[in-house]
Structure 1
Amino acid sequence: MKAAIQKSWISGVLAVSAASLCCIAPLLAFFGGVGGAATYFNWIGPYRPYLIGITILIFAFAWYQKLVIAPRQSEHCCEPAKSSFWQSKKFLLIVTLFSGVLITFPYYSPLFYKSPEKTSDNFVAQANFKYVLLNIRGMGCADCTKHIDGTLMGLNGVLSSSTSFEKAQTIVYFDPAKTNADSINHKIKEIGYQPAFMKND
């Protein structure tokens, strides 16, 4: 029984880790400087809901074993065996909470990225800023937009960056005296995505 519970939480952690890779990889790349690595896990994005469902089922089964089946079996034993910390309810609770933190990562991930500045078209026109609209391929989930925007906001001369996962596009306002559309395009390629010019003004 103890081995079954241990296998359950190990399977749950593996499933939730796989489900979260496509969301966490951009953040690791953003802070670790391994830009292209973020796109290695993009293929996981479409399977995330299924992996989360599997994780929930695995942990529900582990808790059922721990709270229902294990006590029933211990009633038939004369002397219950002592369980280690790794097989305790406390450890199972820690692993369950950790999995919850990974599952909900997309909801609090904006805290880790630099927020793109909001810029009005009037201000851009007055300041003689230009903009570029790019198609972006290679985004696995909505968190990739934060990776792109956060990286571009660190580029000298970029005033604002707004990326849409649904449209697979980004629009970037920049100071032509400090940077240009080619540099922005190259920066996006550097972090592992495939940009293509749609409009350059």
Structure 2
Amino acid sequence: MKSDNKLAGLGLLTAISASLCCITPVLALLAGTSGLASTFSWLDPFRPYLIGLTVLVLAFAWYQKLKPQKQIDCCDTTEKTPFIQTKKFLGIVTIFAGLMLAFPMYASVFFPKTTNQTIVTDKSNIQTAEFTINGMTCSGCEVHVNHEVNKLTGIVKTTVSYENGNAIIEFDQTQTNIDEIEKAIEKTGYSVTDKKEIK
């Protein structure tokens, strides 16, 4: 029975590890220390392996829990099973692990909605710049960068992509500039490796 608990614990640990790169930006934002957001981005390449390990470990834990136990006829064993060794506990661990593995899909709901209402008086003041960003690993990272950039005045439109590793931002150059936008992006903990104006 103790091995079941160890398996459940290992399954939970690998599930949390698999999503740590996406959980950290949310925790950093909630704690007000958004610079810590990319701390666990190095785990992203290992995510598929951690997901596989989580599934295998939890499947084996369920196998151990559901396989028929040998009955010993010599004595009465009506001792109550501790909650931590029950199927209900393993079920809770499995559901929590599933929620952790799916976290990147719904991480954006934890970020406050930021909308910028920029009034543009002269369209010739609109400038578009592309920033190459290192460290983004999921859609939660996109929302985090988007949230931080939209705090600036003069932002007209932001398009952030973790898959492309970039952000394309339209802004009113009379209200903000490329350097201010770069600082806002780097405030999240991700690093800008290149920036260029798009004509």
| TM-score of the superposed pair, with normalisation by structure 1 | 0.86
Q: In the alignment, is residue 198 of structure 1 matched against residue 189 of structure 2?
A: no
Residue 164 of structure 1 is matched in structure 2 by: 161
Q: Where does structure 2 lack aligned partners over 5 or more consecutive residues?
A: none
Quickly say closer, same or farther: Cα 1:145–1:125, change in 2 above 3 A.
farther
Q: Is the 8 A contact 1:124 1:130 kept in 2?
A: no
1:148 aligned onto 2:167: no
User: C-alpha displacement at 1:114, in angstroms?
Assistant: 4.8
Post-superposition shift, 1:175?
2.3
| CA distance in structure 1 between the aligned counterparts of 2:45 and 2:59, rounded to whole angstroms | 23
Correspondent of 1:176 among 173, 178, 182: 173
Query: How well do the aligned residues superpose, as a CA RMSD in angstroms?
Result: 2.4
Q: Conserved in 2, the CA contact under 8 Å of 1:18 and 1:51? A: yes
Counterpart of 2:188, as a letter, is I
Question: Is residue 134 from structure 1 mapped to residue 131 from structure 2 by the alignment?
Answer: yes
Q: How does 1:84-103 map to 2 (within 5 A)?
A: 84-103=82-101
Q: CA deviation at 1:177?
A: 3.0
SS at match of 2:130: strand
Aligned counterpart, 1:48:
47
Segments of structure 1 that go 5 or more residues without pairing to the other structure are: none
Q: CA deviation at 1:116?
A: 7.2
In 2: Cα distance, 1:61 partner to 1:33 partner: 40
How far apart in 2 are the matches of 1:87 and 1:112?
33
Distance of 1:169 and 1:150 partners within structure 2: 15
1:53-88 Cα offsets, whole Å, 9 max, x none, are 1001111111111111xx423x23533332111111
CA-CA distance at 1:13 after TM superposition: 0.8
1:82-130 C-alpha deviation (Å, 9 max, x unpaired): 2111111111111110011111112222222356779xxxx89748422
